Amino acid sequence: ARGANGVVIVTTKRGKSGAPQANVTAGLGVSTLARKMEVFSADEFRTEVPKIGLLDDKGGDTDWQKEVTRTAITQNYNMSLSGGTDKFNYYASFGMQKQQGIIKANELDRYTGRFNATQKFWDDRLTIDANVTVTNTKNDRPPFGTIVGDAISNNPTYPAYGDDGKPAIYLNLSNPLILFDLEREMQTINRVVGTISSSLRIINGLVFKFNFGVDNSAGTLDLQSRPSANPVRLGRLETYLNNNRNRLVESYLTYTKSKGEHNFSAM
């Protein structure tokens, strides 16, 4: 990779001369919580807590870490098309990733399209390379900090669900399962990275090179709190916008002779 002022030029797969080639790949992955935090089980809680104070026992046996986590699935799909001639080649691809987080209600979707091409002119004295990558990323997640904090500190004798099968509501304990329905962070990022580079051989050993690159991204973050009568919560929506734009313009001469190489550059 080569970068300046935040712009990154990435070398990707390129097409080769010959008949068009199409490829399709798919992958499936599974993620689980590697190791739980060591906390008291309900039975251990009933044994140890009375040694230092009063026991608040609701008769349950809840593994709160198990309640807020899951076995997560990640899917990856990619397809590409490439080909070309002696003077021109191309490579185009599209990829999709759908990833679940091990914390429930966390989803990330990413779509990526790439295209690059190389064209040669004037008996191969001039070569032009063009690359563009477009990415759309969507991340829908709950409030991790609060959920994980509740999961490792809650009383395990409190049942996670009430008699109606819904997350139980308590006055003196925060049930993290309720937050999955009430609190949301939704982020969308659109990014475009493009480069054009050319190389002109003026005479043998003397080459003029020019690079131009752009890296533009636009992001939106929505923080949503849904209204609720029980527990009492007011509805709220906050939106944050973020835009980044970077440019790279670079040109230089390269002179090569038998004893070495000399560069004369202008930015």
Q: In the chain, which residue ranges form alpha helices assigned H by DSSP?
A: 42-48, 64-68, 144-153, 176-182
Please give the DSSP secondary-structure letter assigned to residue 168.
Answer: P
- Of 112, 175, 161, which Cα lies nearest the Cα of 138? 112
- Residues 176, 180: Cα–Cα separation, whole Å: 7
Burial classification of residue 220, based on how many CB atoms lie within 10 Å of its CB (0-12 exposed, 13-18 middle, 19 or more buried): middle
Name beta bridge partners: 93. 80, 114
Each residue's pLDDT, cut to its tens digit, for the chain (267 residues) gives 343 344 444 456 665 666 889 999 999 999 999 999 999 999 999 999 999 988 999 999 999 999 999 999 999 999 999 998 888 999 999 999 999 999 999 999 999 999 999 999 988 889 999 999 999 999 999 998 899 999 999 999 999 999 999 999 998 899 999 999 999 999 999 999 999 999 998 888 788 999 999 999 999 999 999 998 888 888 899 999 999 999 888 888 887 765 555 555 444
Q: Which two tokens stand for residue 11?
A: 């070398």
Please list the helix, strand and coil fractions of the chain in percent, rounded to the nearest 5, in that order: 10, 55, 30
- Residues 249, 196: Cα–Cα separation, whole Å: 10
In terms of DSSP bridges, do strands 260-266 and 2-4 run parallel, antiparallel, or are they unpaired?
A: unpaired
Sheet with 72-84: strands ordered across: 18-31, 72-84, 88-100, 107-121, 126-141, 183-203, 206-225, 236-257, 260-266
Is 258 strand, coil or helix?
Answer: coil
- Residues 182, 163: Cα–Cα separation, whole Å: 21
- Residues 221, 169: Cα–Cα separation, whole Å: 29
